[in-house]
Chain A
Amino acid sequence: DGGITQSPKYLFRKEGQNVTLSCEQNLNHDAMYWYRQDPGQGLRLIYYSQIVNDFQKGDIAEGYSVSREKKESFPLTVTSAQKNPTAFYLCASRDRGPGNTIYFGEGSWLTVV
């Protein structure tokens, strides 16, 4: 089955540590996205990538980093510089068909302890 796989589902991090969230897709989509979701704030764009080896900052990129070395993979690193990292993180990819639909993974919960 085609889809987007995020791992881990739940992650606990100590303050001062970096942590990397994995996102893999087998949909052959060029564009991929990372969103952060907090209660009452909807979805906020962290980073996006239109193509391999290229990515752009979204609205809240500070304290985060990404890479796009392969079409299938778009990992997100939450660095110690991110002051409030506890949130639900969603990875997505976009197809080229009519309407350019965006599809989502199941999300990863990050908690700083």
Chain B
Amino acid sequence: AQSVTQPDIHITVSEGASLELRCNYSYGATPYLFWYVQSPGQGLQLLLKYFSGDTLVQGIKGFEAEFKRSQSSFNLRKPSVHWSDAAEYFCAGLNAGNNRKLIWGLGTSLAVNP
């Protein structure tokens, strides 16, 4: 079955430190992969997406993610975290079937220490 897994429920980093949020997927073929960010009580905002081509994807707010087929991963990275990055982060994959539903990870909550 297709699935997206975010192994870390909660992560705390210090402001200015680097960040990596993990995402693993299980799909028969290469899926479309997405990272979204959600601030408390708000909708989800797209950070970046991968659907083909260069496996290193640049997104908004200084985020990037790398698609690694051999590891079935699509980890999100940021070189230096800002306090405003504290939020919930969701990884998702778009299945290849006709219904085109997103398969969601359960999210990783990021806290940033000053």
Contact = CB atoms under 8 A, between A and B. Distances in A.
Contacts of B9: 40
A103 B46 CA distance: 7
A43 B51 contact: no
Interface residues of A, number: 27
A75 interface: no
A4 B42 CA distance: 13
Give the secondary structure class of A's interface.
strand
A93 to B, nearest CB: 12
Given A98-B51, A99-B32, A106 B42 contact: yes
A107 B90 CA distance: 16
Contacts of A45: 101-102
Contacts of B49: 99, 101
Interface string A19-59: 00000000000010000000011110100101000001010
Interface string A70-113: 00000000000000000010101010001111111111010000
A102 B102 contact: yes
15 contacts: A45-B101, A50-B100, A58-B101, A90-B44, A92-B44, A99-B32, A99-B51, A99-B94, A101-B34, A102-B46, A102-B92, A103-B46, A104-B43, A104-B45, A107-B42
Interface of A: 4, 6, 31, 40-43, 45, 48, 50, 56, 58, 88, 90, 92, 94, 98-107, 109
